[in-house]
Amino acid sequence: MKLGYYFGGRASRLVPYLLLLPGMLLYFFVSLGPSLATVFYSFTDASGLLGAPMHFVGLSNYQEFLFMGQNIRDNADVLVRTLEFSFLVTVIQTGLGLAAAMLLNQRLAATTVFRTVFFLPVILGVTIVGLTWTLFLYPVGGPAEKLLNLLGGRSEFLGGPPFQAFLWVTWVQIWANMGVTMIIFLGGLQTIPSELVEAARMDGAGGWQTFRSVTFPLLTPSLNTNLTLAIIGSLQAWQLLLVMKGVTNGTQVLGLIIYAIAFGRTSANPTSVAMRQGYGAAASVVLFVLVLIIGMGAQVLMRQRERRVLG
């Protein structure tokens, strides 16, 4: 197979390179470079203030973040919470998205309207979604509390015990992003040929059987896309947490804590906390390792399953 270049001779051979350059330069300076520089910063005590002295401190940032005193417990808490967040979001969002897609696929009635309603939060954005739910979860007689009272319970929702608040924010994250999952599954469902489904029916398979043996395996590409997007996205997502809870102990995930450390907001009463961007960079590298392990691990598992299921 000839891999030639067709668009001209000596001088014009340079054209692809020249036109490639802006994009590549941008990528290096805005994305790749800074990512690598993070590793460099993690070995310093940089505060982030221009003009402030910066020294090499070797591994002491990592030592402090992972092993010093109660940081072992507190930061491990944050790591665990990050994993919990990612797991819950991935599993529930994917499941709910699949259910919604299956339901919409039945073409019952007003499909377009339902589809719009479910996809709306994706477009509205994190601030509108966060504030809408903050209102809905208002603990002094708000709608959610009224509903809960009907069932005989009461709750402080976002203001109560941190784990509870965390679960609520997780739920809102799922609610907000299910629309994308659903659309991707819808697309996948539409690629399944009806003959296969009919054939399964003829063989006497019921609804659930058909799903398990025909539909679900054939949805594997969409499933893999959704899982990848959800896993990696949720490991790095924390904007909603910032909007709904802010920087408070007990509800943070790793991304949020990196921001808090880097920009001096690590205390409930942050009048005098200094920015610590070297330390924050070390925390970023820890997050990177986490994403790498889980992300790559998930990729491997998904490829294996894909081969097994689709042959």
Partner 1 sequence: MRIQKVFLAAALIAAAPLCLFSQGVTLELLIHQNAPLVDYITSFNEKFHAQYPNITVNVSVVKADELATSTQTRLTANDVDIIDMFGFAQGIQPFMKNADKPNWQTLIEAGLLMDLTGQPFLKNYDASAVRDAGSFNGKVYEVNTGRYAFTGVFYNKDLFKKYGVKVPTTWGQLVAACQTFKKNNIAPMTAGGKDGWPVLVAGYGILLSAYPDQAALVKGLWTGSITWNDARSLDMWKKMQVLARDMIEPGASGIAFDAAPGRFASGAAAMLPAGSWDAPAIAAANPKLNFGYFPMPGSDNPADNKYLAGKYDVGWIVAAGTDKKDAAMKWLAFFSQPENYQAYVNATGIMPTQPTAKLNTVLGREVAPYLANFRLGYELLWVNPKGFGQWAQPNASFFKPFNQWDDARKLADQAQADLDAGLKANR
Partner 2 sequence: MKGLPAGFSRRASSSRVVMFIVLLALAAVYLGPLLSVVNVSLQTSQEFSLDPTALARQPQFANFVTAWNKANFPLYLRNSLLYTVVATAVYVLTAVFVAFPIARRYVRGSGFLFSLFVVALFLPYALIPQFQLMLRLRLYNTPVGYILLFLVDPIGIVILVNYIRSIPRELDEAAAMDGSGYTRFVLRVLFPLIKPALASVIVLHAIGIWNEYVTPLIYLPKKALMPITRGLMVFYGQYGNDWTTLAAAILMLTLPIVALFLALQRWIYAGVLQGSVRG
Kindly list the residues in this chain that would bind partner 1 in the complex (CB under 8 A).
Answer: 47-53, 64, 68-71, 73-74, 138-142, 156-163, 246-250, 263-265, 267-276
Identify residues 245-274 at the interface with partner 2 (CB under 8 A). Answer: 255, 258-259, 262-263
Three-state SS string over the chain comes to CCCCCCCCCCHHHHHHHHHHHHHHHHHHHHHHHHHHHHHHHCCECCCCCCCCCCCECCCHHHHHHHHCCCHHHHHHHHHHHHHHHHHHHHHHHHHHHHHHHHHHHCCCCCHHHHHHHHHHHHHHCHHHHHHHHHHHCCCCCCHHHHHHHHCCCCCCHHHCCHHHHHHHHHHHHHHHHHHHHHHHHHHHHHCCCHHHHHHHHHCCCCHHHHHHHHHHHHCHHHHHHHHHHHHHHHHHCCHHHHHHCCCCCCCCCHHHHHHHHHCCCCCCCCCCCCCCHHHHHHHHHHHHHHHHHHHHHHHHHHHHHHHHHHC
User: Which range touches partner 2 (CB under 8 A), out of 61-69, 70-78, 121-129, 152-160?
Assistant: 121-129
Q: Decide: is 142 part of the binding site for partner 2 (CB under 8 A).
A: yes
Decide whether 229 or 242 has the Cβ nearer to partner 1.
242
Identify residues 271-290 at the interface with partner 2 (CB under 8 A). Answer: 277, 280-281, 284-285, 287-288
- Tell me the closest approach of the beta carbon of residue 117 to partner 2, in angstroms: 5
Selection from partner 1, partner 2, none that 58 binds (CB < 5 to 8 A by kind) is none
- Tell me the closest approach of the beta carbon of residue 170 to partner 1, in angstroms: 17
User: Which range touches partner 2 (CB under 8 A), out of 75-83, 86-94, 109-117, 158-166?
Assistant: 109-117
Decide whether 129 or 276 has the Cβ nearer to partner 1.
276
Q: Decide: is 15 part of the binding site for partner 2 (CB under 8 A).
A: yes
Q: Decide: is 62 part of the binding site for partner 2 (CB under 8 A).
A: no
* Of positions 83, 138, 250, 305, contacts partner 2 by CB under 8 A: 138
Selection from partner 2, partner 1, none that 195 binds (CB < 5 to 8 A by kind) is partner 2
* Of positions 19, 150, 151, 202, contacts partner 2 by CB under 8 A: 19
